[in-house]
Amino acid sequence: MTFYSVLVFVFLVLSAAAAPINNTSNSHSRRHTPIPYRPLNPPLSTPWTEKVGTSPWPQHPRPQLYRETWKSLNGIWTYQSASGQAELNSPPAGLLAQEVLIPSCIESGLSGVMESGVMYMWFATTFDVSSNWTFGQPTILLNFEAVDYEATVFVNGNKAGFHRGGYFRFTLDITEHVKVGSQNDLRVFVFDPTDEPPTYIPHGKQTRYTSHIWYTPCSGIWQSVWLEAVPTNYISGLEVVADMNGDVAATVHTITQTPLPVEMSLVDEGDVVLGIFRATTDKKFSFHVPSAKLWSPDTPKLYKIVVNTQIDAVGSYTGFRTISSRVVKGVQRPVLNGKFVFQFGTLDQGYWPDGIYVPPTVEAMEYDLQLLKSLGMNMVRKHIKVEPHLFYHACDRLGLLVIQDMPSMHPAPSVLSTAPNADQQAEFEREVELLVTQFKGYPCIVTWVIYNEGWGQLTDPYYPEIGITARIRELDPTRLVDATTGWWDHGAGDFSDNHHYADPQCGTPWYSLNSAPYDPARIGFQGEFGGVGHRPEMENLWPIQQAIDTIPQTYELNADLAAFNYRAHVLLAQLRDQVALYGCSGAVWTQTTDVEGEVNGLLTYDRRVVRANATQWRADILALYLAAEARG
Ligand SMILES: *[C@@H]1O[C@H](CO)[C@@H](O)[C@H](O)[C@H]1NC(C)=O
Ligand SMILES: *[C@@H]1O[C@H](CO)[C@@H](O)[C@H](O)[C@H]1NC(C)=O
Ligand SMILES: *[C@@H]1O[C@H](CO)[C@@H](O)[C@H](O)[C@H]1NC(C)=O
Ligand SMILES: *[C@@H]1O[C@H](CO)[C@@H](O)[C@H](O)[C@H]1NC(C)=O
């Protein structure tokens, strides 16, 4: 029996037992009661697993473009796997086979499905749009924060839109399909091949063939789904850049691009209005804010923004800061607000044993960031994953610089040497543009990373990272570009970025296998080092045999936590020397948490054991900043 026929069999059995419900017009309809939702025990839980409930992620998901009239569709939907693309021609009607928690990865315990190997799937729910909720606004928008990898959306049986790209937001105007005052049917067909050959798509560390540093994949609607009621010519986007001189450049985009007068107010704490600036929509304008307090990791000062076109109003925020690269006392440096700031933080994968790609709660997500901050780190490298926008909002508030990787594309580990074809490369580059345009409003992000360790990187002499770097600078001239973190450096971007385990080679006159010599014309950086491991107690370990078997592949294993911390101390002292003696401007420690069989986190995968001795780490990290300050 194929998996699909097993499902059909189960439905037939269920439908015999369940009370028949009414007729749906479609041959795929199944008369059954969906299997009710219950969280399935994940292989390993976290302190937040029990707190998820059935209304997850209730927070407004778009902190930089907030409106009053919104409604979350997160919660219990129904789900069933599909046989293939052909089902798009005849969507199943009615309730689907089983209940599922949205948002979630269907592979996760929290989803209630915990199924792997499914590439095609349906999700369904219903929603009401009452006239008292719309407040007379005529246009209804349906927002998806992220669906991995392709989503085809139907509202009341009509195709309402399609989106490709597993990490990005999309908004559909569903006004023509919605019935105000009655129940509406929403169904989403999802296709997510991850790395199934011959697929070659941006998917980061997800794999259908898990092995050590390649982890369980995430499929489905993994970030919030929500509705908004807006005027016909609504504000569709804001671009705001605020710099260290108090200068602000802004564009208020509207959907129809019919010019409207617009007011932008800058608001300080206590709702003190610092200024109201008048302009026209869809045209860049600028203004100056005298004595604006600057944003930095030490002083993460943010200002609220209110934008009003008379017919639409949105809330947002920004921070005043400038990041650049220049020579300071003979060394090329990353410069924040005119000053060399040594950047130190972790490789942050954003994986969770209970939610896979989905942090169980916003508090869980912020717990990791607060731990880094409490150890004195000022940076985090978001590693080949893109997080919900609330992650960047948290980094803005906490004061953590973010190095944002583009999720790598690469085929399954077994065929790792093949390269993307022209179409796959074009899609990768299109998604790089989505990353930059959707996230460039967050002050915390200081660097965009294109390629990690050559994964999916064409190494033919046209070197795609050269063109991609130029394109990113066009879309966002206000940040640095790390074109290749580790491995194949062809001179593109602002960084000369080495990866080396366990000890660093940060701006040093020596280098090893697979790395390029330090190029003093660019910023000397250690994009990865550390990786010091420690096998946790069984109760803190991802108890999947395949993962356990790969523990010895961890870069270095230490017998106990005293040794773990001693080794970290030694490596951080080496790094400090490299800051003092050579061209080292920042470094990324591997990593925030264990992930599956990779057991080298400051925290175990379940976040229940903090391995790092905080006293020692704080002192060792402070010594890095002091060594950098001493150099100027
Ligand atoms: C099915 O439809 C009939 C009439 O068309 C109605 O009386 C009945 O309540 C419906 N059953 C369900 C479960 O909706
Ligand atoms: C069942 O579906 C058929 C085909 O769409 C429709 O004509 C019929 O009225 C439906 N019956 C009920 C009870 O809904
Ligand atoms: C909106 O209308 C619905 C039904 O028409 C009602 O149940 C609900 O209480 C109303 N909400 C508000 C905020 O008035
Ligand atoms: C943590 O490090 C400090 C400073 O090196 C040391 O004095 C202390 O004993 C360590 N704590 C533990 C639990 O090992």
* Whole-number Å distance between alpha carbons of 376 and 114: 37
Beta carbon of 116 within 6 Å of any ligand 2 atom: no
Beta carbon of 563 within 6 Å of any ligand 4 atom: no
Pocket test for ligand 2, best of 21, 22, 23 (most atoms within 8 A of CB): 23
Query: Are 180 and 139 contacting, i.e. CB atoms less than 8 angstroms apart?
Result: no
Beta-carbon contacts of 248 under 8 Å, excluding residues fewer than 6 positions away, are: 240, 241, 242, 266, 277, 286, 287, 288, 289, 318
CA-based torsion, 198, 159, 91, 355: positive or negative: positive
Top-level class of domain 235-311: mainly beta
Task: Please provide the distance, in angstroms rounded to a whole number, between the alpha carbons at the two ends of the chain.
Answer: 69
Query: Are 556 and 566 contacting, i.e. CB atoms less than 8 angstroms apart?
Result: no
Beta carbon of 561 within 6 Å of any ligand 4 atom: no
- Closest ligand by atom to 22 CA: 1
- Closest ligand by atom to 21 CA: 1
> What is the pLDDT at residue 13?
36
Residue bearing the CA closest to ligand 2, atom 3: 25
Pocket test for ligand 2, best of 21, 25, 29 (most atoms within 8 A of CB): 25
> What is the pLDDT at residue 31?
55
- CATH number belonging to the domain at 342-631, selected among 3.40.50.720, 3.20.20.70, 3.40.50.300, 3.20.20.80: 3.20.20.80
> What is the pLDDT at residue 246?
98
* Whole-number Å distance between alpha carbons of 461 and 446: 28
- Closest ligand by atom to 23 CA: 2
Residues of the chain predicted below pLDDT 50 = 1-29
Beta carbon of 21 within 6 Å of any ligand 1 atom: yes
What distances in angstroms separate CA 373 from CA 224, 315, 369, 561, one per listed residue? 27, 27, 6, 21
- Helix (H, G, I), strand (E, B), or coil: what is residue 267? strand
Torsion region of 464: left, alpha or beta (phi above 0 gives left; psi -120 to 50 gives alpha)? alpha
Q: Which two tokens stand for residue 132?
A: 């008292």
Ligand 4 atom nearest to CA at 614: 1
Contacts 24+ apart (CB under 8 A), 155-160: 155/184, 155/185, 155/186, 156/184, 156/185, 157/91, 157/185
Write down the pTM of the prediction. Answer: 0.91
> What is the pLDDT at residue 9?
38
**Residue 22 CA, ligand 2 centroid: distance in Å:** 8
Beta carbon of 614 within 6 Å of any ligand 4 atom: no
* Whole-number Å distance between alpha carbons of 49 and 222: 16
Run of H or E including 81: strand 75-81
Hey, what amino acid is at 234? Y
Beta carbon of 324 within 6 Å of any ligand 4 atom: no
> What is the pLDDT at residue 497?
98
User: How many CA atoms, within 13 angstroms, populate the side-chain half-sphere of residue 547?
Assistant: 22
Pocket test for ligand 1, best of 21, 22, 31, 126 (most atoms within 8 A of CB): 22
> What is the pLDDT at residue 385?
98
* Whole-number Å distance between alpha carbons of 38 and 331: 57
Q: Which two tokens stand for residue 224?
A: 């919030």
Ligand 3 atom nearest to CA at 132: 1
Structural domain boundaries in the chain: 3-230, 235-311, 342-631
**Residue 22 CA, ligand 1 centroid: distance in Å:** 6
Hey, what amino acid is at 353? P
Q: Which two tokens stand for residue 277?
A: 């600036």
**Residue 177 CA, ligand 2 centroid: distance in Å:** 21
Ligand 2 atom nearest to CA at 25: 5
Ligand 1 atom nearest to CA at 22: 1
> What is the pLDDT at residue 414?
62
- CATH number belonging to the domain at 3-230, selected among 2.60.40.10, 2.60.120.260, 3.20.20.110, 2.40.160.20: 2.60.120.260
Hey, what amino acid is at 354? D
> What is the pLDDT at residue 410?
80
Beta carbon of 98 within 6 Å of any ligand 4 atom: no
Run of H or E including 533: strand 532-534
* Whole-number Å distance between alpha carbons of 485 and 57: 33
What distances in angstroms separate CA 525 from CA 7, 304, 334, 348, 586, one per listed residue? 52, 34, 10, 17, 5
**What is the strand order of the sheet 495-499 is part of?**
480-485, 445-452, 401-405, 379-382, 343-348, 586-590, 523-530, 495-499
* Whole-number Å distance between alpha carbons of 141 and 395: 28
> What is the pLDDT at residue 417?
61
Residue bearing the CA closest to ligand 2, atom 6: 25
* Whole-number Å distance between alpha carbons of 184 and 566: 60
* Whole-number Å distance between alpha carbons of 136 and 231: 9
Torsion region of 88: left, alpha or beta (phi above 0 gives left; psi -120 to 50 gives alpha)? alpha
What distances in angstroms separate CA 355 from CA 37, 351, 362, 482, one per listed residue? 15, 8, 12, 30
**Residue 26 CA, ligand 2 centroid: distance in Å:** 10
Residue bearing the CA closest to ligand 2, atom 10: 23
